[in-house]
Structure 1
Amino acid sequence: MAKGGFYVLSFPDANDQTQTEVVERERLRPAYGHHPARFDKKVFPVPREIQPDVRLTEHLLPKMARHADLFALRLTPDARELIGIGSPSALDTAHVLINMHFVKAPQLAKVVQRANSLQMKMGDANGAFSKGVPTVFQADTAMIGLLIGHKGANIKRVQAMPGVLRVDVRGDGTVTIMADSEEEGEAARRQLEVVVDRVPI
């Protein structure tokens, strides 16, 4: 980050801890020579209609900066501008990558929103599954389809029973019922076992 005639550098030390150092421009030198490195700052305006999308995809900026060989690439807090710091050639490369990102940002934002939504649902499901008393039993793998029912009808019916939090059926026939109490879990188990028992073998 450039501040006046100084640069604030962040870098990992030997223990992978982030260290910060303030240096003058003259101390920045390329690894291959003795001339001061040239770092420029360039502002890339973000079109208003995609500012929310660019904010949602902000986590992709470090990868874009690495591909362009930029020193830094940051989104301003109001999401109106991307600020890049790097060599002139790196900034030119970044300009091309950023324009490509602007074109794809709406689709990427939809993917991110969908992923976030699924992650929240998974969190809710895991939370529900971690609460309660488990009742586990083994069903015949040949009867799993019958146990689940048409479009999950049997599972939905059992999950609607009082105190039943969740029913999980695995491909190996393991059925796990999470309920508020052992009695409610056993009642749900009996309902599912009745469905299987009705089929003559």
Structure 2
Amino acid sequence: QMTLVEVLERTEQAYFKAEVIDVEGSNVLIKYVGETELIFVDSSRVRLLPTPMTDQERVRFNPSLGDRVEVEFIDEEGPDSWWDGKVVNLRNGTYVIEFPDGKSEIIDEKDRLRPSHGHVPVRLLKKVIPIPGDKQASFINIDHTHQLSQILKHAGLLMLRLADDRKSVISIASSVASAETAATLVEMLFLKVERIAQKVAQEKMLQARVHGVNLTFGAVCNFQVNPEYLGLLIGTRGCNIKSAQAISGISKIDVRPDGLISITGDTQTAVDAAREQLEIVHEVIPVPSQSVALLIGAKGQQILELQQLAHCRMNVHDGRAGGHVVDMTGTRGNVGKAKALVAYTLESIEEERSRQALIGNLNAQLRSLSTQDRPPAYAPARGTG
């Protein structure tokens, strides 16, 4: 359970992401992202990972001439890095960045730039929290990895892990407040660890019993569907049920009038596949306002035809954020088919609209040509008349 930091390479004025593994005095044991080797670096080279810019901050971020920025470089063979530099020229939306070694580079992707955060070494506080002797066995038996990751997140730690001897928990924080908060949360975990261990043991016992029942009677999956949609689930002449029953390992599918669906099969994989095929889903796709009437058709004939082809319900209505949407309800496969049909229909409508516009332009050109002066249809021969 670790939070990333950035480590400064002073000769290059570049920062590389790393995980903090341990702290010994002023030395920090780290592992660079994407690498396996553990190395010690001086704590003065380590800074907190800068907070990513929000979308709004990203839009407002427009470096000017002379501004210091950090430039991202992606290395296919090593960890990504951020290099300190200065904007020395602006060319048609691109940035010319000069680095401390005097070299410069043209950057045409603003997403590769971020404000310069300066180098503020992080203060690392290591704390060893002993696990009470009567709690150690229970602590090992619970999902302590998950529990510690939750504490790390809530306390804002850089690292929190079980010690190698499994008799203590080690935390590394960047502030006294964070370290104290983590210690309090860990102590709270110790107080309830035995109860958690009992629940974990009970869960494992029940899982073993369920596994044994499945081996004897097979796997069972029950799920609820709104009775209003049972017709969509069953399909025309029961085609959806027949298709799900054809899945290898499925022995029985019961559909109750109240919408309870029960699937029995040889394996959990088989019943899960059948459920995936039968579940009712809802999806919404936007429709251009100028295409709504044509998509619905005269007296709703077009949308009715699409419903019959896709075997799912469709409803065109106003969207929450304005505009119009098509609300589709049916089995996963049929809704996928409906989305394709609607997309194809909208494309056809747009093509027809473009074609009609072209025909209108051609007619206008013909009318324009017909009004121009033309030579008479008959002219007498030279020397006659």
The TM-score bracket by the shorter chain reads 0.5 to 0.7
- Matched ranges for 1:93-132 at <5 A: 93-128=181-216, 129=218
CA distance in 2, matches of 1:75, 1:36: 26
Q: 1:86 aligns with which of 138, 154, 173?
A: 173
Output one character per residue of 1:59-101: Cα deviation in whole Å (capped at 9) or x when no partner: 2111111111111111124431111111222111101101111
CA distance in 2, matches of 1:84, 1:140: 54
CA distance in 2, matches of 1:106, 1:78: 20
Q: Could you tell me which runs of 5 or more consecutive residues in structure 2 were left unpaired when the two chains were aligned.
A: 1-20, 51-116, 220-248, 268-385
Residue 76 of structure 1 corresponds to 163
Contact 1:54 1:79 in 2 (8 A): no
Measured after TM superposition, the shift of residue 119 of structure 1 is 2.2
Residue 44 of structure 2 corresponds to 26
Contact 1:136 1:176 in 2 (8 A): yes
Go from structure 1 to structure 2 and tell me whether the alpha carbon gap of 1:177 and 1:64 turns closer, same or farther (over 3 Å shift): closer
Go from structure 1 to structure 2 and tell me whether the alpha carbon gap of 1:172 and 1:45 turns closer, same or farther (over 3 Å shift): closer
Contact 2:126 2:171 in 1 (8 A): yes
Which structure carries more relative contact order (alpha carbon 8 Å, separation 6+)?
Answer: 1
CA distance in 1, matches of 2:29, 2:162: 18
> What is the Cα-based RMSD across aligned positions, in Å?
3.4
More strand per residue:
2
CA distance in 2, matches of 1:76, 1:3: 13
CA distance in 2, matches of 1:78, 1:114: 27
More helix per residue:
1
CA distance in 2, matches of 1:136, 1:84: 53
Go from structure 1 to structure 2 and tell me whether the alpha carbon gap of 1:48 and 1:10 turns closer, same or farther (over 3 Å shift): farther
Residue 133 of structure 2 corresponds to 48
Measured after TM superposition, the shift of residue 111 of structure 1 is 1.2
In the alignment of these two chains, the number of paired residues is 142
SS in 2 for 1:29: strand
Go from structure 1 to structure 2 and tell me whether the alpha carbon gap of 1:8 and 1:122 turns closer, same or farther (over 3 Å shift): farther
SS in 1 for 2:47: coil
Q: Could you tell me which runs of 5 or more consecutive residues in structure 1 were left unpaired when the two chains were aligned.
A: 12-17, 142-170, 179-201
Measured after TM superposition, the shift of residue 40 of structure 1 is 1.5
- Matched ranges for 1:1-201 at <5 A: 1-2=21-22, 4=24, 5-9=27-31, 11=33, 19-20=35-36, 22=39, 24=41, 25-30=43-48, 31=50, 34-57=119-142, 58-59=144-145, 60-87=147-174, 88-128=176-216, 129=218, 136=251
Contact 2:250 2:263 in 1 (8 A): no
